[in-house]
Each structure stands twice: as structure tokens, then as C-alpha cells.
């Protein structure tokens, strides 16, 4: 082909053949462009799942499949296509009983801009329990059992033989345990029923310790204590059948349940079958002949006794016959009865990317709700996690996962556990935990099962964000945190540490490397047993700034660590406003300390990236690591705090922390009424204090979005309720990110 160029138009061909060629090219390009646009605008693949479906169907709206697994399997061959536009799996309303997890892995991933969404249509419940027909219950038939029941209970209690229903988890408790003991749970009309116990509410206490027990070495033994009152004398038959008691035997943050070996009514004594951790008796009590005699305040109660099945709503599991006994709260024929009996999580994801679980309720399993390990950009949106034996959602590794606008309540263990990133390289995970309502968790594991666990106790986390969560009514801590460069902001926390002591609403522990964490613009209130921000036993490198603290034991608390910044916080009605001490001197926080120093050396803190990111650590081991150095406490405002600043330690030990100006002012100067609802006043009027920053009070806590259309009106005791002031807060997120 003779292709000659027109000299006036350098890129134009002149003969007719060339023109036809160009026309054909233009047509092809036009088709390609149209095809590309079609691909770009392609709608996600849609599948439908229904309890009334059939897995032999195609998954259309008219012919839905019956299981999530079938929908997953239909998507697997499609997602390998480069043009895959993503998918929406419409999960229709109903109850889906899970005997095993709904498991997703790498081959079930979506892609960026082509995600896979499992979306609830209406009320969708994934349950890990069995629905029990009321006809399965019978009057008590065993005379020996009737004899152990109270006179009032004998005609009210009903029995259920568990093996005949295929119930698995009804084996004997372990000798000792710290959570639920691994047995089933019973629910009537959505309410978890408690095991029979004595006393029915609260605790009794030890009178004195006779033998602390041997908890170390080859020859270990349980201790012996004297109980108060006469009620335990009625439990003689229970000892041979199996009698367990739960208590804070040594410290107020470490409960343990242990089997009773012997009960001596004449001596009013109980001997444990094995030693509890650290032995019997408060660690603060004096020691006599190798035994801590206790302080008479060690709390305990007995559980799972037929003799104490004495009120409606209680139940008991007799291990020898694997029979459940319950005093129903209502006519069983008019109730829904569910027994949790599935140990696995209800949903698991392994190395899964760009998958969303939206709008589902996960409940009635003995295990966790959702477990995500590895992967990227998994989202949990607008879900409900309740009545589970384990933790609601676990994010373990991976990048850019997000749990948002979901409710977590009445869980046996914690709310949301989060880990990700790399400690040695300081690689950031980028997970987000945002706009969640978490309350009444820790129902069976009552300590170290917080609303949010971030980068602590087995979950290292870096570069994650915890924001705008409402957390309340917990037995222990609200947030256990650690790791590096995490942001915790805009959270509202109240009524925590209801069943324990010596803990923080925000709590970090025993780590010189846990640095760069910023805690700002949070409210912590109405928790007299908790310190608001507790940097315990050497925790270092946190920034606690511009928070509101009301009615906690201490406000911010620095327990011997380094480089903690406590500035511009508003602290109201706390017995002691701020605390710092030099505990590292007496406890040996030095270059040979096993935990602190070994963790420090492991990260190679004198080399990049650690030396670049945290240059203040350079001399931590060479200049008095046992002194609290580099801390700054300044510009805080305190109201109605009898002690503003509590310093415990020698002057020379404190010389390398800066304590600046911290002001005491009146409520009037802060714009607060003397007797009014404090938080409501703050939200409506803000904080206007001369020389003090304007705190973003109205942007703290939950907000409305596409997955949280209403805000909870929950009883907050002295704090009032979560107010309508948040009703138009779609700008909260963007505002706090600035």
C-alpha cells in the first residue's frame, strides 16, 4: 500500500484505500470503546438465598438457593474472569441454623471496585444453636434430684435429657477455668438464662484463709478457707456430684472458677481441688507461716447447684446424667427455647479480599461471630452480634478491614478484637472500628474480655483507628490497647469496671515499645472503679489529649512508663485527677527486666525504622529505665477533684518528667450547672473555658449513617441518654479526620 503523507497535514493519509482503512479502524475503536464502557457500567452479579430455597436452583429471585455455601460456590468460577463486576448475594429474611462456619477463603474474594456483598434482606439470623421443642421438657423424675431441690422448686423445675437431642457440649467442667467452662448456654425468648448460684446476686466473701495452697513446683495443692454463714453446709451432695466456685481469690482483676475438693460443715471450711493462680488470699494481706491470711474481702460465689435452683430463670446441668434442669420464666409452650451448642465461629474468612457482610444478626453460638484472618478490605456493616458465647468479631492480620455501624451485646467474651500490621517493620494495617454500639459483654469471661481489644494480649496492631463507638455496662475494661500509631478518638464510654478493680476504661500494660498511640476527644464517665486512661506498669509513648473525664477513680494514670503526654483534658469529680509514679524503681524496670527489656531489644529500637519513628527511645536503657522519664502533664483543667495531681515517688526520680500548669476551676467558670446533667450540658453548650481548647463534644459517640438509621435511646444513669444532638451528624467522620 502506497502511504504518502499530505505535507500540510503530517498525520493524514490521502488515497481512498487509506480512508477506508481508517474508517474500519474507527469502527473497531468505537466498538472497543463501547465494549469498555459496557464493562465499566456492568452491574454486579446478583444471587438470592432463602430458607425456602433449594440448592438445585440457579439462585435467581424466583428460584433462590437455600444455603450461603451454594451461593458462594456459584460465584467461584465467575470471579476468575477479569471482567467480573462484583456480586451481591441477597440473603432473604429467616433463620439459618449453622452447624459449622460459613467459610470463605482467598478464592471467594472480590476485587477493588468489584466487591462481593452478602446483604441481608429483612431480618436474617445466623444461629449456632438448636431450637428445642417445648414437648422435650419433662417434670423432674429422679427422686434424688427432687430431694436436692427446694420445696418451692420441685413442681416448677423441668428436665431435659441432652444426648437424646444430639446436644454435645454437656461434659463436666474442667477442674479450673476463667470463662464459661465450655458447656452449653440456654436462652428463652432471646434472654440468656443464668446458672443457678449462691448468692443469687453479687458475692459472699472469705472469712479467712487457712492455707493459700501450692501453685508452683511439682507438688501443687489447692488451698483452704473458712466461709461465712451456714448456707454452704447444704451442699454436701453437690460435692460428690461436682461443685464449683468462682472468686477473686488473690487480686480484684483475676477471677477463677475451681472445683471444690472437700466441704467441712463442722469447720465451715472449703478446700479447693487445685491451687488458683497465685494462691488463696489477697496479695495485699499479711503472711503467716507461708499463708496469706486474706483481708476478708475476697469475693466468691458457687454456681451450677441443684440446691440453689431457687428462682424462675435459673438452670443447672447435672454432668453425671447430662440432664438440664430449668425453672422456666413462662409457659414453655409459649416460648422460644434455644440451646447454644456450636463451638466454631459462625462466619470465617481466611485471606479473603473485598467481601462485605451486611445487615445480618449472628447469635446463639458458643464460639465467635465472625473471624477474619489475613486478607484485605473485608467489611462488617450494620450487623448485630448477640447471645454468643465467644467474641463478636475478630480481625486477625490483613489490611484495611472495617467493622462499622454494628451492635454487639450480651456476649460471653468480648466485642471486637483487632490485630494487624508488623511490629518489626512498623507496617500499618489500616483497620477501622467505627460507629459501633457495644454493651453488656463479658457475660461469662468477666475480665480481659473488653468491648474492643486493639493491639493487646495476642493481637499486635499498628496504624488502626477506633472511633465514635458507644461502650457501656461492662464488668472490666472498655478498650485494651497497645501496638503502634493507633488512633482512638470520639468514643463514648461509661459504666465500666462494674465487677472488677484496678483497671482502666482505656487500659495499656507493661510495654516500652507500645508507642505513638493517640487517645483524643473521648468521653469516659460514671465508672468509679476504673481509671479513665490507665498506662499501667511501664506502658510508654501514649498521647492522651483533649478528653472529657467524669466520675472515675483516677483520670489519666501513668504507672512508671516513659514519654506519655497528658494534655488539655477536662477532668471532673474524680477523687484524684491525675497520677504518676516511679514504680519501676521498686519493681526492677531496668535493662534486665524479662518482659520490658526483651520486648524492646526484639524490635531493634536503635535501628530504622524504629530509630527514625521513635528517636526518644535511643537512650532508654542507658539512662535510668526504671525512672519515669519524658512524660508531660500540662494544661489540664480539673473541677471538683479533691486531689489534682497525685505524685508517688522520689523527687529525683520524677525530675525527668515535665509537670506543667494544670488548673483547678469552678463549674461556673466551665459553664456547667452544679446539679444538672453534666454530659447533656456539655453537649448542648460545649466547653468554653478561657485559654482551653474548644472540645468537639457534639461529635463524640455514635452518629447516623446508611447502616445506623436511628440512634439508641439507652439508660445512661447519671449521664442521661444518647441525645438527639447527634441526629444530623453525617459530617462527624470527615470532621474528625481533619
CA distance 486 to 514: 10
CA distance 369 to 362: 6
The whole-number pLDDT of residue 721 equals 42
Mean of the pLDDT values across residues 126-141?
A: 96
Pick from 53-57, 205-209, 625-629, 732-736: least confident: 732-736
- Residue pair 50/94 in contact (Cβ under 8 Å)? The answer is yes
Is residue 325 very low, low, confident or very high in pLDDT (cuts 50, 70, 90)? very high
Residue 115 has φ and ψ, to the nearest 5°, of -80, 165
The whole-number pLDDT of residue 41 equals 55
The whole-number pLDDT of residue 73 equals 98
Q: Is the peptide bond before 199 cis (omega within 30 degrees of 0)?
A: yes
Q: Return the C-alpha cell found at 18.
A: 487509506
The whole-number pLDDT of residue 47 equals 98
Q: Nearest Cα to 243, choosing from 230, 259, 257, 227?
A: 259
The whole-number pLDDT of residue 217 equals 79
Q: Return the C-alpha cell found at 78.
A: 465467575
Pick from 331-340, 489-498, 692-701: least confident: 692-701
The whole-number pLDDT of residue 733 equals 53
* Bridge partners, residue 402, by sequence: 379, 432
Query: Is the pLDDT confidence value at 674 over 60?
Result: yes
Digit-coded pLDDT (tens) for 576-610: 999 999 999 999 999 999 889 999 999 999 999 99
DSSP 366-416: SS-SEEEES-B--EEES-EEES-SS-SEEEES-BS-EEES-EEES-SS-SE
Is residue 3 very low, low, confident or very high in pLDDT (cuts 50, 70, 90)? very low
The whole-number pLDDT of residue 23 equals 52
Is residue 255 very low, low, confident or very high in pLDDT (cuts 50, 70, 90)? very high
Digit-coded pLDDT (tens) for 282-317: 999 998 888 899 999 999 999 999 999 999 999 999
Is residue 676 very low, low, confident or very high in pLDDT (cuts 50, 70, 90)? low
Q: Return the C-alpha cell found at 69.
A: 455455601
Query: Is the pLDDT confidence value at 36 over 80?
Result: no
Mean of the pLDDT values across residues 535-554?
A: 97
- Residue pair 284/502 in contact (Cβ under 8 Å)? The answer is no
Is residue 2 very low, low, confident or very high in pLDDT (cuts 50, 70, 90)? very low
Catalogue the long-range contacts made by 119-122 (C-beta closer than 8 Å, 24 or more residues apart): 119/88, 119/89, 119/90, 119/91, 119/356, 119/358, 119/359, 120/91, 120/93, 120/358, 120/359, 120/360, 120/361, 121/90, 121/91, 121/92, 121/93, 122/92, 122/93
Which of 235 and 733 is assigned the larger pLDDT? 235
DSSP 163-192: GGGT----PPPPSEESS-TT--EEEETTEE
CA 398 to chain centre: 18
Neighbours of 60 (CB within 10 A): 11
The whole-number pLDDT of residue 11 equals 37
Mean of the pLDDT values across residues 403-425?
A: 98
User: Which percentage of the chain shows pLDDT scores above 70?
Assistant: 90
Query: Is the pLDDT confidence value at 575 over 70?
Result: yes
Q: Nearest Cα to 204, choosing from 221, 223, 226, 222?
A: 226
Query: Is the pLDDT confidence value at 677 over 80?
Result: no
Is residue 445 very low, low, confident or very high in pLDDT (cuts 50, 70, 90)? very high
Is residue 667 very low, low, confident or very high in pLDDT (cuts 50, 70, 90)? confident
The whole-number pLDDT of residue 623 equals 93
The whole-number pLDDT of residue 529 equals 96
How long is the chain? 738
Three-state DSSP at 117 gives: strand
Positions of E strands within 265-350: 269-272, 287-288, 291-292, 299-303, 315-318, 323-326, 337-340, 347-350
Digit-coded pLDDT (tens) for 457-505: 999 999 999 999 999 999 999 999 999 999 999 999 999 999 998 999 9
CA 151 to chain centre: 42
Query: Is the pLDDT confidence value at 373 over 90?
Result: yes
The whole-number pLDDT of residue 690 equals 86
What Rg, from alpha-carbon coordinates, does the chain have? 30
Query: Is the pLDDT confidence value at 712 over 90?
Result: no
CA distance 431 to 130: 34
Mean of the pLDDT values across residues 548-565?
A: 97
Is residue 717 very low, low, confident or very high in pLDDT (cuts 50, 70, 90)? very low
Query: Is the pLDDT confidence value at 154 over 60?
Result: yes
The whole-number pLDDT of residue 464 equals 98
Is residue 682 very low, low, confident or very high in pLDDT (cuts 50, 70, 90)? confident
Which of 124 and 699 is assigned the larger pLDDT? 124
CA distance 713 to 709: 13
Q: Nearest Cα to 122, choosing from 359, 411, 400?
A: 359
- Residue pair 373/199 in contact (Cβ under 8 Å)? The answer is no
Mean of the pLDDT values across residues 685-701?
A: 86
Digit-coded pLDDT (tens) for 89-113: 999 999 999 999 999 999 999 999 9
Mean of the pLDDT values across residues 52-74?
A: 98
User: Which percentage of the chain shows pLDDT scores above 90?
Assistant: 82
Mean pLDDT (the chain) is: 90
The whole-model pTM stands at 0.91
Amino acid at each position: 500500500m502506497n502511504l504518502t503523507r499530505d505535507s500540510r497535514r503530517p498525520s493524514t493519509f490521502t488515497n481512498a484505500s487509506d480512508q477506508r482503512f481508517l474508517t474500519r479502524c474507527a469502527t473497531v475503536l468505537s466498538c472497543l470503546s463501547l465494549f469498555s464502557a459496557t464493562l465499566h457500567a456492568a452491574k454486579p452479579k446478583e444471587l438470592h438465598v432463602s430458607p425456602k430455597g433449594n440448592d438445585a436452583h440457579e439462585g435467581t429471585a424466583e428460584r433462590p438457593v437455600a444455603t450461603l455455601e451454594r451461593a458462594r460456590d456459584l460465584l467461584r468460577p465467575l470471579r476468575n474472569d477479569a471482567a467480573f463486576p462484583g456480586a451481591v448475594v441477597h440473603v432473604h429474611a429467616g433463620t439459618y441454623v449453622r452447624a459449622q462456619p460459613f467459610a470463605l477463603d482467598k478464592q471467594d474474594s472480590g476485587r477493588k471496585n468489584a466487591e462481593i456483598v452478602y446483604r441481608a434482606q429483612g431480618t436474617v439470623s445466623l444461629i449456632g444453636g438448636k431450637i428445642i421443642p417445648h414437648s422435650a421438657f419433662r417434670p423432674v423424675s429422679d427422686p434424688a434430684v427432687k430431694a436436692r431441690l427446694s420445696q418451692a422448686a420441685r413442681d416448677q423445675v423441668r428436665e431435659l435429657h441432652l444426648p437424646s437431642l444430639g446436644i454435645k457440649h454437656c461434659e463436666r467442667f474442667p477442674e479450673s477455668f476463667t470463662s464459661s467452662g465450655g458447656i452449653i448456654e440456654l436462652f428463652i425468648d432471646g434472654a440468656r438464662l443464668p446458672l443457678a448460684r449462691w448468692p443469687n446476686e453479687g458475692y459472699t466473701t472469705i472469712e479467712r484463709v487457712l492455707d493459700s495452697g501450692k501453685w508452683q513446683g511439682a507438688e501443687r495443692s489447692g488451698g483452704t478457707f473458712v466461709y461465712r454463714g451456714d448456707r454452704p453446709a447444704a451442699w454436701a451432695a453437690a460435692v460428690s456430684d461436682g461443685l464449683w466456685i468462682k472468686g477473686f481469690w488473690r487480686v480484684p482483676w483475676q477471677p477463677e472458677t475451681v472445683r471444690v475438693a472437700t466441704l467441712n460443715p463442722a469447720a465451715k471450711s472449703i478446700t479447693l481441688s487445685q491451687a488458683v493462680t497465685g494462691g488463696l488470699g489477697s496479695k495485699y494481706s499479711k503472711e503467716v507461716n507461708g499463708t496469706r491470711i486474706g483481708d476478708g474481702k475476697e469475693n466468691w460465689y458457687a454456681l451450677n447447684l441443684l440446691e440453689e435452683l431457687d428462682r424462675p430463670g435459673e438452670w443447672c446441668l447435672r454432668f453425671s446424667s447430662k440432664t438440664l434442669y430449668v425453672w422456666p420464666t413462662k409457659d414453655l409452650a409459649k416460648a422460644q427455647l434455644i440451646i447454644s451448642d456450636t463451638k466454631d465461629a459462625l462466619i470465617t474468612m481466611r485471606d479473603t479480599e473485598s467481601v462485605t457482610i451486611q445487615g445480618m444478626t449472628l447469635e446463639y453460638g458458643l464460639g465467635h461471630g465472625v473471624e477474619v484472618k489475613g486478607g484485605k478490605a473485608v467489611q462488617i456493616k450494620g450487623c448485630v452480634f448477640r447471645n454468643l458465647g465467644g467474641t463478636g468479631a475478630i480481625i486477625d492480620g490483613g489490611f484495611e478491614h472495617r467493622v462499622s455501624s454494628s451492635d454487639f451485646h450480651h456476649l460471653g467474651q468480648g466485642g471486637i478484637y483487632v490485630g494487624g500490621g508488623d511490629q518489626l517493620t512498623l507496617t500499618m494495617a489500616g483497620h477501622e472500628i467505627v460507629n459501633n454500639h457495644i454493651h453488656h459483654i463479658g457475660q461469662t469471661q468477666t475480665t480481659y474480655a473488653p468491648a474492643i481489644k486493639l493491639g493487646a494480649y495476642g493481637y499486635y496492631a499498628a496504624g488502626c483507628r477506633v472511633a465514635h463507638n458507644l461502650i457501656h455496662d461492662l464488668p472490666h475494661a472498655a478498650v485494651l490497647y497497645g501496638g503502634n500509631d493507633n488512633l482512638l478518638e470520639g468514643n463514648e464510654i461509661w459504666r465500666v469496671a462494674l465487677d472488677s478493680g484496678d483497671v482502666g476504661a482505656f487500659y495499656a500494660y507493661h510495654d516500652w515499645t507500645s508507642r505513638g498511640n493517640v487517645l483524643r476527644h473521648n468521653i469516659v464517665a460514671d465508672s468509679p472503679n476504673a481509671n479513665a486512661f490507665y498506662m499501667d506498669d511501664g506502658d510508654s509513648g501514649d498521647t492522651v489529649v483533649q478528653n472529657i473525664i467524669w466520675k472515675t477513680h483516677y483520670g489519666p494514670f501513668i504507672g512508671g512508663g516513659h514519654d506519655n503526654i497528658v494534655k488539655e483534658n477536662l477532668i471532673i469529680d474524680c477523687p484524684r485527677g491525675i497520677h504518676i509514679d516511679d514504680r519501676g524503681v521498686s519493681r526492677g524496670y531496668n535493662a534486665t527486666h524479662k518482659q520490658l527489656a526483651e520486648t524492646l531489644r526484639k524490635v531493634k529500637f536503635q535501628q530504622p525504622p524504629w530509630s527514625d519513628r521513635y528517636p526518644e527511645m535511643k537512650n532508654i536503657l542507658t539512662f535510668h529505665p526504671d525512672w519515669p522519664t519524658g512524660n508531660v502533664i500540662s494544661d489540664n483543667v480539673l473541677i471538683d477533684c479533691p486531689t489534682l495531681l497525685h505524685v508517688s515517688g522520689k523527687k529525683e526520680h520524677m525530675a525527668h518528667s515535665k509537670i506543667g500548669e494544670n488548673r483547678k476551676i469552678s463549674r461556673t467558670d466551665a459553664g456547667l450547672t452544679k446539679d444538672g446533667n453534666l454530659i447533656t450540658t456539655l453537649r448542648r453548650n460545649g466547653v468554653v473555658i478561657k485559654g482551653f481548647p474548644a472540645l468537639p463534644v457534639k461529635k463524640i459517640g455514635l452518629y447516623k449513617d446508611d447502616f445506623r438509621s436511628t440512634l439508641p435511646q439507652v439508660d445512661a444513669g447519671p449521664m442521661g441518654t444518647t441525645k438527639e444532638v447527634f441526629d444530623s451528624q453525617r459530617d462527624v467522620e470527615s470532621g474528625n479526620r481533619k
